[in-house]
Structure 1
């Protein structure tokens, strides 16, 4: 399972909470800071070895079933403007989780339109369990993906070495339990209960993202924390980057009725599809305003969808 949560706005600090969790998923490699030492090999615990075997087996089974597809979905299914509009409403204007007694539980509910107003600065934090070769590969992939998202949304989205406001922690199950201080340092406004939840996510949550807003603008994201398991095999880890980063931009829900899409827990697609690209273009269209309800946004959603699918025919 992948998760995307929008945390409710906090009253105390400018950075409050908004949640968007759920397990999911180039250009030159950014130079590392000269004062950053090379990664030291981590001791792999029996639990972490078991997790690696579990996720490798899971990826193998999904691939054998014809899932985790890496194409753009253009040949798999057709959708017209009306369906695109319905899918956008389902993914962008519903929430997948609700807070109950300080915990986030699966519960579909209506939501207002959420997205970032300011620049998105993505910063990767790798645990010692992640080899240098994987770090280099993932940086290249993430940077290329962010450039693609920036073009689609016409919004500033960049990979940074420091000063991020969208922090992605890639860590083993052992490192996960010790992430609390690092998460709190990256996002001081995040509630302790949320930090505790991130550090205690069990194996059924493959990856997750928690996006936060400011009190005075409860639907305008200002920061995000994502967690990706380092035990994932290559494709599964890449899938987590794709889904969690996109969900942290404002497409926070998942639905089994929406396809061809990564915003669907059936794991049919591993990577962002052409359909999903259109959802992102719609989300950041200036004609849609942060905080709009489904009823307020629906006429505009339909107009934009008709423009993106002008022939009202299949992809």
Structure 2
């Protein structure tokens, strides 16, 4: 369930400001093909598809058999249908799944757009969620404790409901569509060890990646079917992956270690809802301690440093800066982490701007703008552009800064939603600039 952004508001408060440029949207997707060994990806497939997030193993593979129909009900925001159509097109062309949008009275998958408050009334920690064997949110309360909505009881999927917010920023709604629809039709688990997937609760990736599409294509390979056991699926996977991803046959396996539950619990406490500031910081320090003890040098070690940096940047910016730099160092040595580095660069550039080092910030930001655009993260792209504008001002390039800042607003309207939220982000980043008074 993608994390909720604080910079969103209701539909009533998102009226267009005529002084704002039009919202920008992404056009042609550019997913990166997976570069890992097929042996590693076979293990990933089994752990994603035959295990729940709780760690409980599933006895059999469950999926839809035959064409999959999707319909939208409720109060969808204007961007939902265009984004859904783009996603369905990708699933058809990249994952070879027979899935389409219909207007009929019933469908295999019903996407209901409801106010955020309704979602949180049922699941306080969720931005969006997916449930089997129902079609409307009004049915959920009565069904949620029954076997009807138990994923582990499924053999064949026939009816699933997805609940997304109708009053969130366009990017958050799109992110929900990608993650929840992928889980509605495919794997149910998330794995922190995956650096290049939306099937990862770190929420770094927000749209389906090349790895995700390969997993979904394998999930619907004709060699598999609902009701197969783990052993039966495992026996057929090598040939499936060799056919779908021949390049993976020539990559040496790396066998990334499993993620201890202690680290998962610490990260969830540090970054999830419900904990106080000190509890969050303590949890982040615990996660880093686990990462150090296990001896990780991959993206999970980087993410441990990044989380601690985020939780301390307002109270101890120098301490946080050291952890952002450490995060970037580990990301740099770990494959598939370009987007992770873009997030770290935003924090490092913010620190440089606050200390008047515009040239340093420009160097940090330059390679990250195309990364954010390639991965279709408008909120990150807008923030990077706003930071670039402040860095340009610090180096005396005021006219160029004004152009970049204006250009950022179209992306910010998609990424942050309400015009007031866009202006709040502008003020937040502008406050970093020491030329504008007390920095943030």
TM-score (ref. length: structure 2)? 0.44
Residues 299-308 or 238-247, more deviating: 299-308
| Structure 1 unmatched runs, 5+ | 3-22, 25-50, 57-69, 97-105, 178-198
Shift of 1:95: 1.9
Q: Distance in 2 between matches of 1:305 and 1:231?
A: 40
Shift of 1:162: 2.7
Alpha carbons 2:119, 2:127 under 8 Å: kept: no
- Of residues 54, 57, 80 in structure 1, which corresponds to 2:37? 80
Q: Distance in 2 between matches of 1:142 and 1:260?
A: 21
Higher helix share: 2
Give the corresponding residue for 1:246: 182
Q: Distance in 2 between matches of 1:231 and 1:124?
A: 15
Label 1:270 to 1:71 Cα distance change in 2 as closer, same or farther (>3 A).
Answer: farther
What secondary structure does 1:112 align onto? coil
Give the corresponding residue for 2:132: 211
- Of residues 52, 62, 87 in structure 2, which corresponds to 1:114? 62
| Structure 2 unmatched runs, 5+ | 10-27, 135-146, 252-335, 337-440
What secondary structure does 1:221 align onto? coil
Q: Does 1:91 align with 2:12?
A: no
Label 1:157 to 1:139 Cα distance change in 2 as closer, same or farther (>3 A).
Answer: same
Q: Distance in 2 between matches of 1:157 and 1:168?
A: 14
Alpha carbons 2:119, 2:126 under 8 Å: kept: no
Give the corresponding residue for 1:182: none
- Give the count of matched residue pairs: 216
Choose between structure 1 and 2 for higher RCO, CA contacts under 8 A separated by at least 6 residues. 1
Q: Whose Rg is larger?
A: 2
- Of residues 123, 127, 130 in structure 2, which corresponds to 1:201? 123
Label 1:107 to 1:88 Cα distance change in 2 as closer, same or farther (>3 A).
Answer: closer
Q: Does 1:161 align with 2:103?
A: yes
Q: Distance in 2 between matches of 1:52 and 1:276?
A: 24
Alpha carbons 1:261, 1:269 under 8 Å: kept: yes
What secondary structure does 2:85 align onto? helix
Shift of 1:279: 0.4
Alignment of 1:33-72 (within 5 A): 53=6
Q: Distance in 2 between matches of 1:85 and 1:115?
A: 18
Q: Does 1:173 align with 2:113?
A: no
Alpha carbons 1:79, 1:313 under 8 Å: kept: no
Label 1:313 to 1:270 Cα distance change in 2 as closer, same or farther (>3 A).
Answer: farther
What secondary structure does 2:69 align onto? strand
Alignment of 1:175-194 (within 5 A): 175-176=118-119
Shift of 1:289: 2.0
Q: Does 1:124 align with 2:72?
A: yes
Give the corresponding residue for 2:210: 274
Higher strand share: 1
Task: Give CA deviations for 1:144-168 in whole Å, capped at 9, x if unaligned.
Answer: 2112212344443111123223111
Alpha carbons 2:5, 2:172 under 8 Å: kept: no
Alpha carbons 1:81, 1:308 under 8 Å: kept: no
What secondary structure does 2:172 align onto? helix
Label 1:93 to 1:110 Cα distance change in 2 as closer, same or farther (>3 A).
Answer: same
Label 1:78 to 1:240 Cα distance change in 2 as closer, same or farther (>3 A).
Answer: same
Label 1:295 to 1:138 Cα distance change in 2 as closer, same or farther (>3 A).
Answer: same
TM-score (ref. length: structure 1)? 0.60
Task: Give CA deviations for 1:151-199 in whole Å, capped at 9, x if unaligned.
Answer: 344443111123223111111134448xxxxxxxxxxxxxxxxxxxxx5
